[in-house]
Amino acid sequence: MIAFLSFGNEITVFTTLSSTYNPNYYAENIEFVPIVGEYKYTNKDGQHGLLGAVFYSLSLQATVSKIKGFDLVFVSTIPYLGIAAILRRLSKENKKIISIFYEAWYYYSPSKNFRALTRHLFRNEIRKIVIESDSILSISKPTTFSLRHNYKAKQIVTMPMGIELEAIDQVPKPTMIFDVSFLGRIATIKRVQDLIRAIEQLKNTGVLIRAVVIGDGPALRYLKHLCRSTGVSDVVYFSGKVSDEEKYALLKSSKIFVLPSEREGFSIATLEAMACGCVPIVAVPDFPEIFGVSHYVKDEINGKYYEIGNIKMLASQIKMILSDQNKLELLSKKAVETARTYHWDVVLEKLRKMLI
């Protein structure tokens, strides 16, 4: 999106990304300005807690004064708290404000200790953001539905994320070496432990599969310990952080991609895996508003669903697909076809029409 907007425009990106981020990938007329440095608003398990969101919001309030002299401002709404206040300050300068929603929580609460409080706070903040925004970009149909149904949003456009198909196509398909893969931030909320437990169940019934876990994060150490304690260390490979080329190669070397996550606004990782030929098996969360992956993964059409946390059901789905070659090939073909409709060129054309 950033590269697209840079054509004929001067773009400034106020970001919290770390100093290791390389802005040289983008055009010369795009400037990156750090606003809250290396501040972490997740706990040791990688969860987005209430206190973290509060402190992060206070940091944003302290730096928003840098945003001056722009005609159009795109604002990421996560973590909700404090964003409405920022929008009010920006609107005083007659800027057009487009808020980007990756999720729109209503029934879901990210905090186990303060469920009623966090639901109330986040609902209230999202309502304010909707009111203060000139337009809203939603990245998935479930998020759009929540914004319209729960928050009465009207000026809203659903614009899903895109993937770099050219980069994926350039990576040759290696000899198939993994049965199952996972890609993402290794945090408790991703529930990769459910995949490990499913692999354990399969192994205990004589079904041996090989899996690769791609990525890094605070739960990595725990997952490695879990593999040792369950006796599956010999069939689960942890790649750690890898380059895009290595990531696509690992995905192409796998037959199935499992997304056991508690919630997803969209999941680029799943879409990339589908483009690489993986059949997605995705967890259905407790609340539809956080099932963003259902925007493009359809049960029995280009993937499979299972009940979140139902390890027995996950193991059964994996076994069923691996034992039915025709099913595997059909779902894989449909997955690739779906993924190819999310090329960035197609996605950004929707944004162009919105801004004209």
195 CB contacts (<8 Å, ≥6 apart)? Answer: 180, 182, 211, 213, 258, 260, 314
pTM surpassing 0.75?
yes
CA dist., res. 317 & res. 314, Å (int):
5
Q: Which residues contact 226 (CB under 8 A, 6 or more apart)?
A: 193, 196
Burial class (CB in 10 A: 0-12, 13-18, 19+), 47: middle
Collect the ranges in the chain with pLDDT lower than 50.
19-21, 23-24, 38
Q: Which two tokens stand for residue 179?
A: 């049965």
For residue range 11-37, list pLDDT tens digits in order.
Answer: 777 666 554 445 445 556 677 766 665
Residue pair 280/338 in contact by the 8 Å Cβ criterion: no
Q: What is the pLDDT of residue 19?
A: 43
Per-residue pLDDT, 71: 76
The average confidence (pLDDT) of the chain is 87
Q: What is the pLDDT of residue 194?
A: 98
- Per-residue pLDDT tens over the stretch 117-136: 889 989 999 999 999 999 99
Q: Count Cβ atoms within 10 A of the Cβ of residue 18 and give its class: 0-12 exposed, 13-18 middle, 19 or more buried.
A: exposed
What domains, with CATH codes, occur in the chain?
35-159 (no CATH), 165-342 (3.40.50.2000)
- Who's near 205: CB < 8 A, 6+ residues apart? none
Sign of the alpha-carbon torsion through 304, 310, 314, 316: negative
Extended strands (E) in 275-322: 279-284, 304-307
Q: What's the confidence (pLDDT) of residue 8?
A: 56
Q: What share of the chain is helix, strand, coil (3-state, %, to 5)?
A: 45, 20, 35
pLDDT of 99 reads 93
Chain CA centroid to CA 45, Å: 17
